[in-house]
Protein backbone atom coordinates (compact mmCIF):
# COMPACT_ATOMS: atom_id res chain seq x y z
CA UNK A 1 0.00 0.00 0.00
CA UNK A 2 1.24 3.50 -0.83
CA UNK A 3 0.70 5.92 2.06
CA UNK A 4 1.10 9.68 1.92
CA UNK A 5 1.97 11.44 5.18
CA UNK A 6 0.59 14.97 4.88
CA UNK A 7 1.31 15.93 8.49
CA UNK A 8 4.23 14.98 10.71
CA UNK A 9 3.69 11.79 12.64
CA UNK A 10 5.64 9.81 15.18
CA UNK A 11 8.59 8.20 13.35
CA UNK A 12 7.67 4.79 14.77
CA UNK A 13 4.44 4.76 12.74
CA UNK A 14 6.32 5.12 9.46
CA UNK A 15 8.85 2.51 10.57
CA UNK A 16 6.13 -0.01 11.45
CA UNK A 17 4.29 0.52 8.17
CA UNK A 18 7.45 0.16 6.09
CA UNK A 19 8.50 -2.94 8.03
CA UNK A 20 5.15 -4.45 7.03
CA UNK A 21 5.74 -3.84 3.33
CA UNK A 22 4.05 -0.46 2.84
CA UNK A 23 5.57 2.42 0.87
CA UNK A 24 5.48 5.71 2.76
CA UNK A 25 6.12 9.16 1.33
CA UNK A 26 6.51 12.27 3.44
CA UNK A 27 4.72 15.33 2.05
CA UNK A 28 4.52 17.68 4.99
CA UNK A 29 7.04 20.03 3.39
CA UNK A 30 5.14 20.17 0.10
CA UNK A 31 2.67 22.87 -0.86
CA UNK A 32 -1.05 22.24 -1.04
CA UNK A 33 -0.83 22.42 -4.83
CA UNK A 34 1.92 19.78 -4.94
CA UNK A 35 -0.05 17.48 -2.64
CA UNK A 36 -3.19 17.82 -4.76
CA UNK A 37 -1.17 16.82 -7.83
CA UNK A 38 0.08 13.56 -6.28
CA UNK A 39 -2.59 12.51 -3.78
CA UNK A 40 -4.59 10.38 -6.23
CA UNK A 41 -1.61 8.05 -6.62
CA UNK A 42 -1.82 6.87 -3.02
CA UNK A 43 -3.97 4.22 -1.38
CA UNK A 44 -3.89 5.90 2.01
CA UNK A 45 -3.37 9.40 3.35
CA UNK A 46 -2.39 10.19 6.88
CA UNK A 47 -3.36 13.45 8.52
CA UNK A 48 -2.12 13.41 12.05
CA UNK A 49 0.06 15.16 14.51
CA UNK A 50 3.05 14.43 16.64
CA UNK A 51 1.26 16.14 19.53
Q: What pLDDT shows up at residue 49?
A: 58
pLDDT of residue 34: 95
What is the tens place of the pLDDT at every residue in 9-46? Answer: 888 999 999 999 999 999 989 999 999 999 999 998 87
Question: Could you tell me the pTM of the whole model?
Answer: 0.81
Q: What is the DSSP string of 1-51?
A: -EEEE-S---HHHHHHHHHTT-EEEE-TTS-HHHHHHHGGG-SEEE-----
pLDDT (0 to 100) of residue 10 = 85
- Per-residue pLDDT band for 3 (boundaries 50, 70, 90) equals very high
Amino acid sequence: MKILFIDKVHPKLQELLENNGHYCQLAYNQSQKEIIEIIAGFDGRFLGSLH
